[in-house]
Homo-oligomer: A and B are copies of this chain.
Amino acid sequence: MKKLFIIGTGPGDLQLLTPKAQQAISASTELVAYGLYLDLLGDICAAKNRHDLPLGEEINRARLALDLAAQGKETALISSGDIGIYAMATLVFELLDRQLQGLEQSPQWLEVDIQVIPGISAMQAGASAVGALLGHDFCTISLSDLLTPWETIKKRIECAAAGDFVVSFYNPVSKKRDWQLNSARDILLASRPANTPVLIGRQLTRPEQSINIIQLQDLDAKDVDMFTMVSVGNSESRHIVNGDKEWLYTPRGYSKKLA
């Protein structure tokens, strides 16, 4: 059986790597990933063939993973976080779809048995680190306009604002993109209190983790980089302080029962 594992390895802390993901990596000889993700896995990747294509080479990474698997090699395509959320999984299926439509010349891909293994995504690592920010309805929006027109992204931010969703921004900035996050902030500020709590979580669950809780009015792209998760509370999200501990949570409405 030709097999391709598509694996999300969680935010970084190996204690959040699921046994299912770990076993799939163990069963593979070929690991295809952006190199940093493999570095985070440490010894688990020892004695494996690493195919660490750089950022920007996503399509070639997906092609390579399908090609290796189709050659009968035990192959794992790996992303940190959940590989099904803004990551490589969808690209593999997009290539398969193209092959099924006759737009690719790789019929061998269709013989590969695919298994997708989910992982803990950055929004979950962030929300749990500060309490329960995702406790009620939320959405995720990628601020990368490389593949999605800004008009579409802007419309989604406006809808997230109108619906009062907690919002997690993926790809908030990059080396070449710095204005989208501030634009998103301004759209949310039009309908959400200026003191709405915001989580700025950098390198979540990794040794260099830093977490800042700020107010929406103070959100600024200059304080955010590619390793940062930005999650904005809804109009009811609360920031509470208990001694030297502080928490963010979004209530589900139990207060009506508690009152």
Contact = CB atoms under 8 A, between A and B. Distances in A.
A237 to B, nearest CB: 10
A128 B116 contact: yes
A37 interface: no
Interface stretch (A25-33, A132-140, A218-226): A132-140
Nearest to A241: B100
Interface in A154-206: 155-156, 158-160, 162-165
A59 B147 CA distance: 44
Interface string A50-65: 0000000011000000
Contacts of A69: none
A127 B163 contact: no
B132 A84 contact: yes
A227 interface: no
Contacts of A18: 10, 15-18, 120
Contact of A132 (B93, B129, B249): B93
Given A117-B128, A138-B139, A148 B252 contact: yes
A140 B141 contact: no
Interface string A80-112: 001011110111111111101001000000100
Interface in A1-40: 8, 10, 13-20, 23
B137 A59 contact: no
Contacts of A125: 118
Contacts of A17: 18-19
A104 to B, nearest CB: 9
Given A15-B18, A82-B124, A134-B84, A94 B254 contact: yes
A165 B152 CA distance: 11
